[in-house]
Amino acid sequence: MDKLLIHGGTRLDGELRASGAKNSALKMLTASLLANEPVTISNVPHLRDITTMIEILGSLGVEVVVDEKMNIEIHANTIKSFTAGYDLVKTMRASFLVLGPMLAHYGQAIVSLPGGCAIGPRPIDQHLRGLQALGARIEMNEGYVHASVDGRLKGAHFSFDFCTVGGTEHVMMAATLAEGQTVLENCAREPEIVDLANCLNAMGADISGVGTGTIVINGVESMHGCTHRVIADRVEAATYLIAAATTGGRVKVKEAQQEHLEVVLTKLEEAGAEITVDDEGIELDMKGKRPKAVSLVTAPYPAFPTDLQAQIMVMNSIAEGTATVKETIFENRFMHVHEINRMGANIRLEGNNTIALVEGVAELNAAPVMANDLRASVSLVIAGLVAKGDTIVDRIYHIDRGYEQVEEKFRILGAHIERIHSR
Ligand code: EPU
């Protein structure tokens, strides 16, 4: 398993370009199953999770052509199987989202249950209830969800019990080919959902209201091909901005979109960063200062994203003052806390492990660390960048799932970081 070796103590300084959003691109690859013609997705990040999704499409018999610039062309009408197996689905929960598009287009789909994951149990009850509201027959059999419908799905009025990103995307995709109108209430509003809807509309869907709590989908009989460019990855972009703030440095992330990161930028300003936004992207300058601690609560968009909680926790760990960080999205997303504490941080978990009380310390010290979730792992890299000495971050295949060329990008910013390959 590869590791990252980080020699800490350098202030990050430089410019880089944000990659395309993983959490948009993954869903667009599944959405292509709705079309009768080839769909081309561009600005796709070169990541392990994308490769897994391509493998899943391949396992269905779907032809996928990838060029050297990561433009991905999907020929869904070459599909030969409607079963997505456990071996692939268990490695990435987003793969479960092939179910709705296959069901809507071909009337049948058999997809393995995704199961739990490191950050919590993550059920799919809302996905299934939404599909059932559209008339899908759903049966569970030996760990697989068997979904079917005679003819087309039927438009319906459905309200999610709570905000779910995947649930909103899944039911929205299925409803595009349903007969009549679907109204979805209490929808999640993340920018990736808007991006997905723009892609679906380019394929001939009729979706409105996306980005608000109520999405209206007028079903169409068929969908055609399109070319769609994925938005910039707001979580990746903000990870580099937070890393710059933590090290007292200056970083410009080109293509990062201010409107997708408002709450995060406000928090970074509260921490003492100077933020400048122009046509090219977002620049953060800490001017060598130690950050001030910032308290926050994670919640669905537009609030502070759970996917940046671990990274900002590291910033808080070396900040001036005390912060409270509350996680409300996932049950078990504080794994990084124990590892950062091993590097000398002073973080206490309370409230049944949903609240972290962070007492800023003057410095962190290098240690061998590892985490079993993507964002927790990258937070340890940030900890390594600011720590005294050489930190080794183990199990970085998690980082490779979501951060394109992570060590190259940090190196562009002046970090001393290298990958240790192991067999
Ligand atoms: N939930 C249910 N039932 C459902 C669906 C969700 O109980 O049917 C629960 C989940 O267990 C969780 C909460 O609702 O506690 C929110 O889950 P949501 O469905 O919103 O998350 P997701 O679609 O599984 C996506 C991202 C995550 C990101 C979350 C929240 C993708 C591929 N994943 O997950 O990204 O943290 O939304 O914003 O889009 C990451 O990129 O590192 C990552 C984990």
The per-residue DSSP string of 337-361 comes to HHHHHHTT-EEEEETTTTEEEEE--
Q: Which of 55, 71, 36, 76 is nearest to 228 (CA)?
A: 71
Average pLDDT of 130-157? 97
Phi then psi for residue 23, to 5 deg, are -75, -10
Confidence band of 371 (pLDDT split at 50, 70, 90) = confident
Catalytic member of 117, 163, 187, 226? 117
Mean pLDDT over the full length of the chain: 96
Per residue in 87-109, is it b (16+ CB within 10 Å) or e — as a string? ebbbbbbbbbbbbbbbbbbbbeb
pLDDT at 83: 98
Q: Which atom of ligand 1 is nearest to 301's Cα?
A: 38
Q: Which of 168, 306, 307, 373 to probe ligand 1 with, by most ligand atoms within 8 A of CB?
A: 307
User: If you measure from the C-alpha of residue 115 to the centroid of ligand 1, how many angstroms do you get, rounded to a whole number?
Assistant: 13
**Whether the CB of 205 sits within 6 Å of ligand 1:** no
User: If you measure from the C-alpha of residue 308 to the centroid of ligand 1, how many angstroms do you get, rounded to a whole number?
Assistant: 14
Q: How far is CA 264 from CA 101, 172, 240, 273, in A?
A: 33, 27, 12, 11
Q: Which atom of ligand 1 is nearest to 331's Cα?
A: 15
Protein residue with its CA nearest to atom 14 in ligand 1: 164
Protein residue with its CA nearest to atom 29 in ligand 1: 165
Percent of the chain with pLDDT over 70: 99
User: Is the pLDDT assigned to residue 423 strictly greater than 80?
Assistant: no
- C-alpha–C-alpha distance, residues 146 and 90, integer Å: 16
Instruction: Tell me the per-residue pLDDT of 334-343, one tens digit each, with 9 for 90 and over.
Output: 999 999 999 9
Q: Which atom of ligand 1 is nearest to 373's Cα?
A: 42
**Whether the CB of 339 sits within 6 Å of ligand 1:** no
Average pLDDT of 356-371? 96
pLDDT at 338: 96
**Whether the CB of 375 sits within 6 Å of ligand 1:** yes
pLDDT at 413: 98
Task: Tell if the pTM clears 0.85, that is, is over it.
Answer: yes
Residue 117 annotated to the active site: yes
Given 3-state DSSP classes, what are the helix, strand and coil percentages for the chain, each rounded to the nearest 5? 35, 30, 35
Confidence band of 252 (pLDDT split at 50, 70, 90) = very high
pLDDT at 116: 65
Average pLDDT of 130-147? 96
Give the number of other CB atoms < 10 A from CB of residue 226: 22
pLDDT at 64: 98
**Whether the CB of 93 sits within 6 Å of ligand 1:** yes
Average pLDDT of 30-50? 97
Work out the angle at residue 123's Cα, subtended by the Cα atoms of residues 121 and 125, and round it to the nearest 5 degrees. 165
User: Is the pLDDT assigned to residue 192 strictly greater than 90?
Assistant: yes
**Whether the CB of 166 sits within 6 Å of ligand 1:** yes
CB 244 within 8 A of CB 410: no
Average pLDDT of 139-154? 96
Q: Which of 329, 354, 372 to probe ligand 1 with, by most ligand atoms within 8 A of CB?
A: 329
Average pLDDT of 344-355? 94
